[in-house]
Structures are given as structure tokens and as C-alpha cells.
Amino acid sequence: MTQLCDNGYKVLIETGGSLPIEHIDPRVHVIMDLKCPSSKMLKKNKYENIEFIKPIDEIKFVIGSREDYDWSKEMINKYDLLNKCEVLFSVVFGSLKPVELVNWIVEDALKVRFQLQMHKFIWDPKEKGV
């Protein structure tokens, strides 16, 4: 990553957040997931990574239920994420309708960016490697 940055490339890395990010070159744009309760992977979240998040980085929550949404809001407040970086909300494809999540965001006037996993709409959601 450092070599690519040194050669003038813009480098982005998307990570599940279960591995440390502290030694990633600071020029690299980190997009890190925080796993929500419905993922059954909460124990994989490495919350210490949040202290190494930079303003150019993003933290993403993939939300599958109202419980996930409420938990995500708690994490945003607990770690003051909106003042650290861009925060992204997306739905677990097939578990939550995008309009439901958007309505919750609008109702709460939450300053997050909504996104869709477009590859799930373009290709068969079960297809790997796309």
C-alpha cells in the first residue's frame, strides 16, 4: 500500500475490522465495517481500530434489523463517529428493505450516508467473486 501511495496512486482498503489497522499507511483510505448484532460476529469487532480512523476514512454498518439500527446509533454516539469520519449505512440484502432503513435514517435526521450493495442488485446475490 505504501509503495502504491508513493507512486501517486489513491489507495483504498475495505476491511471487516477484525484485524488491526494502526500500521496502515496514513495516506490509505480505510473503509471499515463494524459488525452488527444480527451478523452474529460482534466478537470480531476490533473496537481499538476506531482510535486510528482518520477523517478521510469511513465506517460502515450493514444493517439487517431494527436492533442493528439502534445498536449502530449507540456505536456512533459512544465513539463520536460522526466527528471522526464518514459513516455508511447499508442493508443486509434480503433481510431488510432499503426503504425501511432510509425511513429510520430520515426520521432520526441521522447524518449518515446510505448505500446499497449494488453488486447484489446487478448479479445474483448468491454469486461469488463479483
Could you read off the pLDDT of 93-128 as tens digits, one per residue?
Answer: 889 999 999 999 999 999 999 999 888 888 887 787
What pLDDT shows up at residue 116?
A: 92
Please choose, from the candidates 48, 46, 15, 11, the residue with its C-alpha nearest in 3D space to the C-alpha of residue 29.
11
More confident residue, 123 or 52: 52
Across the beta sheet with 12-15, the strand order is: 12-15, 29-33, 58-63, 86-91, 113-114
What pLDDT shows up at residue 120?
A: 82
Whose cell is 450493495? That residue is: 117
pLDDT in tens, 57-98: 999 999 999 999 999 999 999 999 999 999 999 999 889 999
Q: Is the pLDDT of residue 130 over 80?
A: no
Task: Write out the three cell numbers for 14.
Answer: 475495505
What pLDDT shows up at residue 124?
A: 84
What pLDDT shows up at residue 118?
A: 84
What pLDDT shows up at residue 122?
A: 87
Please state, in angstroms and rounded to a whole number, the distance separating the CA atoms of residues 76 and 121: 28
